[in-house]
Every structure is written in structure tokens, then in C-alpha cells.
Amino acid sequence: MPVNETLSTYSDWTYGAAVSVYFVAAVFYLCEAAFGRTKARELVGAAKVAGTAEDGTWTPGLVVRHERSRAEKLGRMGVALTVLGALLQLSSLVLRGFATERAPWGNMYEYGSLLTFAAVATWLVLMRTFPVRKLGGFVLVPVVILMFLGGTVLYAEAAPVQPALQSYWLVVHVSVISVSSGILLVPGVTSVLYLLKSSGRARFAKLPDADVLDRVAYRSTVFSFPLFTIGIICGAIWAEAAWGRFWGWDPKETVAFVCWVVYAAYLHARATAGWRGRPAAWINALGFALNVFNLFFINLVTTGLHSYAGVG
């Protein structure tokens, strides 16, 4: 199975371009967040919409319109750049797929790219529904860091994968797990912001309402948790065929299980009096920390069967 060098080089270039573009976008967002006016835009809560039947505005939305400030213009450029970066990253993934003639998520570099792409895409979708644009920087910074590490420390030449990975379950299991982990980056970040905002310190007054942050976190978690579950179960089905048992407490399996339990605890906490709000946000942040731990530490430090790191 030869590797198409030209395509793989283009793939590397677009990857590099995507990281750079994200970086600039992150700077723009952060400028907006730093210099934009507090409460420049107001979210009208759903409850207040009631009674405005006559003028026909039924959906909750932005009602206070005003001249676009310079900060806001920066933010809009940030969005445009994010879209550009996402397209570049998508091309990088597709090119690598064609270069190697397999699904482009066979080692940690590729897996990390898919993961961060999913995080960015989720964020782009959420920005349309929730007034959280200026938080883009907080999402893009971890994305840029992860992509930078992926492109340097963890980088692996385009190559075919080892026999254990030559299975269509690679396509299903790894893609589902990395996409769902990527989506979980968003609630991880927003939960941390929630914790900052609800700490009540003046420094964090510019962040959107805690309620909005909580809803963004919940929505994205609820979307991603079933996916994550499917990913784990596909992993078990694959392990049954590849390793002789569907569950064997391999370090990676174990930490995935722990993550799963933590997110289940998050969903329960949100439905339990006394655990809503800050405790739930802590749990969500912990879940994401564990996910990253699983991606890096477990692959690089412990020796398990999940030996697709492609490094060392």
C-alpha cells in the first residue's frame, strides 16, 4: 500500500495553515472579549418573549441592535477566520485520507486533528444559537495548543496502519470517539468559564450570563454523551474481534469507562438539587480533563493494547 507523497505534503501544509488561521482568529476573539463593551448585546430570555405576540417576535433572540463597534468587527472577522481554518483542517484530513487510502485517523496526530476539528465545528454551530461569540478565543486556544502538540511532538508520517487497525471498526470506533471527545471540549471550556463567572468576581463580569454558559455546556454534553457511549461500545465490539475479549480493563478502556461514569454523574448532578450549577460544572470540567489525560498520558506513558500512538 504505497503512500501518495504529494497529497500527504499538501495535507501537512493545510494542517499548518489551519493552526495559523485558528491562532489569528483566537487573537481576534480575545481582543473582542477584552475590549468589547460589557453587555453590549443583550439576550432576551425566553420568558420575556411572551406577550410580544403582536410584533411577531416569538423566538428568543438578540433585540438590542446598535452600531457595530470595532471590537465587534474583530469578533466577526474571528468567525470568518474560524470557518476558513475549519475548511483548511477538513482538507488536511481528506488529503491524508487519500494519501494513505484509509480512514485518516490511524495514529495520535490524525486522531487529534479529527478531535479538534469536531470541537471547532461544534463551536461554529453553537455560536448560531447562543450569544457566545466572543468566547471563541477560549475554545480556540486549547484547540491551537492541541493541534500544535499534534503537529510536532505526536506527528507521524503518512503510512499504512498495523494489522490490528486494519478493520472497518477503526473507521467507526475511532471516528466516533474522537468526534465525541472533540465535542466535549466545548462543554469543558464553557464549564470552566461558568465557574469563573459564577465566582462573582468583577474581573469575569464580561462573560455571558452563567445561565447561558450552563445551557451551552449541557446541550453539547447531551449531544455528545450518547455518541461517546456508542464509541465505547464499538470499541468493545472491535476488541472482541481483535484482542480476544470485549472488555479487559486495558488502561485506555479503563479511563474511557471512568470518563463515561463522570459524564453520567454530570447529567445526574444537573438533575439533583444541591448539585446543580457549580458542582455540575466542576464535574464536566473534570470529565474533559480525564479525556485529555486519556488521549495523552495513557497513550504515551502506559503500555496498553491501544498502541496506535504512532510515536516513540
273 forms part of the interface with ligand HEM (CB under 6 A):
no
**CA–CA dist 305, 284 (Å, integer):** 28
Structural contact between residues 293 and 255, judged by C-beta atoms closer than 8 angstroms: yes
Selection from ligand HEM, another protein, none that 172 binds (CB < 5 to 8 A by kind) is none
Least Å distance between CB 264 and ligand HEM?
Answer: 4
What distance in Å separates the CA atoms of residue 254 and residue 307, rounded to the nearest whole number? Answer: 15
Residue placing its CB nearer to ligand HEM in the complex, 202 or 271: 271
Choose between 156 and 267: whose C-beta lies nearer to ligand HEM.
267
**CA 300/CA 279 separation, integer angstroms:** 31
The cell numbers describing 38, all together, are 460589557
The partner in contact with residue 23, picked from ligand HEM, another protein, none with C-beta cut-offs of 5 to 8 angstroms by kind, is none
Residue 90 interacts with which of ligand HEM, another protein, none, CB < 5 to 8 Å by class? none
Long-range contacts of 83-88 (CB under 8 A, 24+ apart): 83/124, 84/21, 85/17, 85/18, 85/19, 85/21, 85/22, 85/25, 85/120, 86/18, 86/117, 86/120, 86/121, 86/124, 88/14, 88/15, 88/17, 88/18, 88/21
| Nearest-approach distance from CB 69 to ligand HEM, in angstroms | 39
Query: Which letter does DSSP use for residue 50 in this model?
Result: T
Which cell numbers hold the place of 72?
Answer: 465587534
Q: Which is nearer to another protein, 51 or 200 (CB)?
A: 51
> What does 248 interact with, of another protein, ligand HEM, none (CB < 5 to 8 A by kind)?
another protein
Helices and strands in the chain, H and E counts: 11, 0
Q: Quick one: which of 249, 268, 276, 302 contacts ligand HEM (CB under 6 A)?
A: 268
Residue 2, phi then psi, degrees to nearest 5: -75, 155
At closest approach, how far in Å is the CB of 18 from ligand HEM?
A: 34
Give me the least distance between CB of 50 and another protein, in Å please. Answer: 4
Q: What does the binding site for another protein look like in residue numbers (CB under 8 A)?
A: 1, 46-47, 49-51, 53, 56, 58-60, 159-160, 162-164, 166-167, 169, 215, 218-219, 222, 225-226, 229-230, 233, 236-237, 240-252, 254-255, 257-258, 261-262, 264-265, 268-269, 271-275, 298, 302
Q: How near is the Cβ of 156 to another protein at its closest, in Å?
A: 11
Q: Map grid coordinates 443583550 to a residue.
A: 42
Using CB under 6 A, pick the residue from 24, 49, 124, 267 that binds ligand HEM. Answer: 267
Select 135 or 232, whichever has its Cβ closest to ligand HEM.
232
Residue bearing cell 470541537: 119
Residues near ligand HEM (CB under 6 A): 261, 264, 267-268, 271
